[in-house]
Amino acid sequence: MKAIISDVHGCFNTLKKLVKKVRKKYPKISLYSVGDLIDRGKFGYEVIEYVISKKIKFVPGNHELMFYHFMKNPFSDMGRNWIYNGYETTIMSYNGHYDKFDKHLKLIEETPMYYNLDDCFISHAGISAGFKNDIINNGKLDVPALDKIVKDNLLSEGSIVWTRNKLVNLGKLQVVGHTRQKEVKYDEKSNTLYIDTSAYSDNKLTAVIIDKNKMIDSISEPTDEKDLMD
């Protein structure tokens, strides 16, 4: 059984309240996140520190990767994209904490792009149906082939952090963020759960409880106004 948290986008106060709710109902459950911890909301630095302190496992979203590449090479394609995608709030949140840049960048670099668990498959945007013939062999997921696809296509519109295409049915439940919804949405054909309930747009942050490839519960917290820009 796993609890998987939707795109946080700097909504630190909302995240704390949600985790408290989850822990009250499921005290020993493992916590995961579909990424996009930073940008847009006010507290990107605080969210990453909290995720570290609470041992929440996450996959990098496109916002973490843009942040990482900007800091390593601001003229790279991924780095330049950060300028147009809500970077200002993240930069401001590190005011007085610049000594943590290296630690946080190393964490992003070392974090896996997906978790292929018994209970589900977790990634930021999901695996595009366009890759089906490359990664599904005899009805089963070819993990080495998937790893190559993920690595070789990271900058493409169909990548594991950018795609908004239809997703491939992996033979297990995919849990993804990235594509905003008002409510958690299930797509039966691809067996995918879309959980980004748009916290930074003043909706809510959500955690889905997954057991044996099924959602058995959903816990939400309305966005705390302190997390949003005035």
Could you read off the pLDDT of 74-99 as tens digits, one per residue? 999 899 999 888 899 999 999 999 99
* Tokens describing residue 110: 């070392």
Maximum separation of any 2 CA atoms in the chain, in Å = 54
pLDDT per position as a tens digit, 207-229: 999 999 999 999 999 999 999 98
Q: Model-level pTM?
A: 0.96
Q: How far is residue 162 from each of residues 96, 153, 211, measured CA to CA in Å? A: 31, 10, 27
pLDDT per position as a tens digit, 100-158: 999 999 999 999 999 999 999 999 999 999 999 999 988 889 999 999 999 999 989 99
Judge whether residue 175 has pLDDT over 80. yes
pLDDT, mean of residues 179-196? 97
Sheet containing 57-58: which strands, arranged edge to edge?
A: 57-58, 30-33, 2-5, 204-211, 214-222
In whole angstroms, what is the distance from residue 202 CA to residue 72 CA? 32
Residue pair 127/135 in contact by the 8 Å Cβ criterion: yes
Judge whether residue 41 has pLDDT over 90. yes
Q: How far is residue 165 from each of residues 18, 127, 129, 178, 189, measured CA to CA in Å? A: 29, 9, 7, 11, 13
DSSP secondary structure, the chain, as one string: -EEEE---TT-HHHHHHHHHHHHHHSTT-EEEE-S--SSSSS-HHHHHHHHHHTT-EE---HHHHHHHHHHH-TTSHHHHHGGGTTHHHHHHHTTT-GGGHHHHHHHHHHS-S-EE-SS-EE-SS--BGGGHHHHEETTEE-HHHHHHHHHHTTTSTTSTTT--SPBP--SS-EEE-SS--SS-EEETTTTEEE----GGGTSEEEEEEEETTEEEEEEEEEPPGGGS--
Query: Which residue's entry shows tokens 């005290």?
Result: 27
